[in-house]
């Protein structure tokens, strides 16, 4: 339960801080500090507990093989899902001496971007996006591709972003597309598990008011550790009960829904919008 809230924010601003007295957990590995700072500026006590780490696959056989396939037989459409992932792919190809050939192959077809960060990475590579959804949603990208009606035989490269995107890839393949998945990095457990263990204990004890997730692998990482420590059932009860669960978008929330854990997310799938929504929902 939150502590009594002071009436106003710091420095005599006269502005109430909506999250004062609330403890909010951040499970992100990448850009956790940015999300935490936004929460702290609104008065929250932030508990940092990375539920995963992202491991680049610059030397990975799968990434090399996917890149070679696309250089040999260029895609008609390439989907860039994240800025950091697309940049990592281009950098890995440059390191192998295949960067120019890869960019030429992608430039021969359309390049779609899931959001503005992916757009920036595409342009930094000397390419240009043909389309990007306003929602920054993988589901809208999938719908856009399926609406073409000409996927049979179309070669589509999809840059993955630590999540398997099984439904996305399966839908394209079912429509007849020749899909090449490009795994740029993978998720792995954090090297230091102590913060994650403390978060699970705090959630079970009712000491956390809300937990935030910015990726589906973070949800999987939290529950995988809870399974290892024998706390999965107690964690599920906590997340179904006193602790609110805020996600950056519906894809992130999907594995929670499968466990019967209620979650909410903003209309715009960004961390700033996530924090604003928490400020509205948590004090209720």
Write out the H or E segment, with its range, that includes residue 54. Answer: strand 53-56
Tokens of 249: 């978008």
Confirm whether 39 is domain-assigned.
Answer: yes
Identify the pLDDT of residue 1.
Answer: 42
**Do 102 and 174 have their domain in common?**
yes
Confirm whether 5 is domain-assigned.
Answer: no
**25-82 pLDDT, tens per residue?**
999 987 899 999 999 999 999 999 999 988 776 557 889 999 999 999 999 999 999 8
The C-alpha atoms of residue 150 and residue 177 are separated, in whole angstroms, by 9
Mean pLDDT, residues 240-245 taken together = 96
Confirm whether 3 is domain-assigned.
Answer: no
Burial class (CB in 10 A: 0-12, 13-18, 19+), 108: exposed
Confirm whether 232 is domain-assigned.
Answer: yes
Choose one of 163, 187, 211: the last residue of a domain. 187
Tokens of 75: 């895609």
Choose one of 140, 157, 187: the last residue of a domain. 187
Identify the pLDDT of residue 251.
Answer: 76
Write out the H or E segment, with its range, that includes residue 276. Answer: helix 271-281
The CA-CA-CA angle for residues 66, 71, 77, to 5°, reads 80
Share above pLDDT 70 across residues of the chain, in percent, rounded to a whole number: 93
CATH number for the domain spanning 36: value is 3.40.50.10090
Identify the pLDDT of residue 11.
Answer: 44
**Do 106 and 196 have their domain in common?**
no
Identify the pLDDT of residue 163.
Answer: 66
Choose one of 122, 156, 187: the last residue of a domain. 187
**Do 209 and 155 have their domain in common?**
no
For residue 205, the enclosing domain spans 19-52+189-281
**Do 219 and 183 have their domain in common?**
no
Confirm whether 69 is domain-assigned.
Answer: yes
**86-130 pLDDT, tens per residue?**
998 999 999 999 999 999 999 999 999 998 889 999 999 999 999
**Do 63 and 174 have their domain in common?**
yes
Distances (CA, A) of 2 to 45, 56, 117, 284: 10, 39, 36, 12
The C-alpha atoms of residue 124 and residue 86 are separated, in whole angstroms, by 10
* pTM listed for this prediction: 0.71
Mean pLDDT, residues 263-279 taken together = 91
**Do 220 and 133 have their domain in common?**
no
The C-alpha atoms of residue 91 and residue 108 are separated, in whole angstroms, by 20
Mean pLDDT, residues 15-28 taken together = 92
Count of domains forming the chain: 2
The C-alpha atoms of residue 34 and residue 206 are separated, in whole angstroms, by 25
Identify the pLDDT of residue 57.
Answer: 67
The C-alpha atoms of residue 68 and residue 271 are separated, in whole angstroms, by 35
């Amino acid at each position: 339960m939150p502590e009594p809230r002071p009436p106003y924010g710091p420095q005599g601003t006269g502005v109430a801080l909506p999250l004062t007295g609330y403890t909010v957990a951040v499970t992100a590995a990448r850009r956790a500090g940015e999300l935490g700072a936004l929460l702290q500026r609104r008065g929250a006590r932030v508990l940092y507990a990375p539920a995963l780490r992202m491991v680049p696959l610059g030397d990975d056989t799968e990434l090399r093989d996917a890149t070679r396939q696309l250089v040999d037989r260029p895609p008609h459409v390439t989907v860039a899902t994240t800025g950091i992932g697309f940049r990592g792919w281009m950098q890995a190809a440059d390191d192998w001496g295949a960067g120019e050939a890869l960019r030429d192959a992608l430039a021969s077809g359309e390049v779609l971007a899931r959001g503005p960060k992916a757009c920036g990475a595409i342009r930094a590579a000397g390419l240009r996006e043909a389309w990007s959804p306003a929602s920054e949603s993988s589901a809208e990208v999938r719908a856009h591709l399926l609406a073409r009606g000409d996927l049979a035989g179309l070669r589509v490269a999809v840059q993955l972003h630590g999540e398997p995107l099984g439904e996305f890839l399966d839908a394209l393949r079912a429509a007849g597309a020749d899909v090449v998945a490009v795994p740029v990095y993978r998720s792995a457990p954090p090297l230091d598990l102590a913060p994650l263990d403390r978060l699970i204990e705090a959630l079970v004890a009712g000491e956390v008011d809300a937990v935030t997730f910015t990726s589906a692998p973070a949800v999987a990482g939290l529950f995988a550790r809870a399974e290892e420590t024998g706390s999965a059932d107690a964690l599920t009860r906590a997340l179904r009960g006193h602790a609110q669960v805020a996600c950056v978008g519906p894809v992130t929330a999907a594995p929670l829904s499968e466990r019967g854990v209620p979650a909410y997310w903003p209309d715009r799938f960004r961390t700033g919008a996530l924090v604003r929504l928490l400020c509205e929902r948590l004090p209720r």
